[in-house]
Amino acid sequence: MQRTIIERILTSFRHIAVAGISAKPDRPSYQVARYMMEHGYTIYPVNPTVKEVLGLRCYPSLSLMPPEIRGKIEIVNIFRKAEDVPPIVDEAISIGAKVIWMQSGISNMEAAGKAREAGLLVIENRCIAVEHQSRYH
């Protein structure tokens, strides 16, 4: 079941907001975002402490993105501690995102339930780049 959902996400959605992205090339969030960009996905960095990542403007939060950008976000890929996930999910719901993707090691049952109730697909504790590599390489 989850494999089918992951396949659907990776083939149907191309616009990814990366919440908690780092500007440091050695960090997983940077590496995953770069990998997804290299494979045709559009990345929107989100981190209030960073101005630019991968040559892209970095936004302080999903809700502070310009409306024309917010409306494009399909996947919200989260690189934050589990306890930091609920407000990101709230913002993802409010901007009309389709997917919440919590990276490896990140899971928040309450936030995941809220996202599902709002109609979003939810993946927890998995790396989007690893899932992409396992299917397309």
41-87 tens-digit pLDDT: 999 999 999 999 999 999 999 999 999 999 999 999 999 999 999 99
Q: Report d(CA 31, CA 92) in Å as an integer.
A: 22
Q: Report d(CA 63, CA 73) in Å as an integer.
A: 11
Q: pLDDT digit string (tens) for 5-19?
A: 999 999 999 999 999
pTM exceeding the 0.85 threshold for the entire prediction: yes
CATH code reported for the domain at 2-136: 3.40.50.720
Place of tokens 């970095």: 58
Average pLDDT value for residue range 80-95: 98
Residue 137 has pLDDT above 90, yes or no: no
Average pLDDT, the chain: 96
Q: Report d(CA 84, CA 73) in Å as an integer.
A: 20
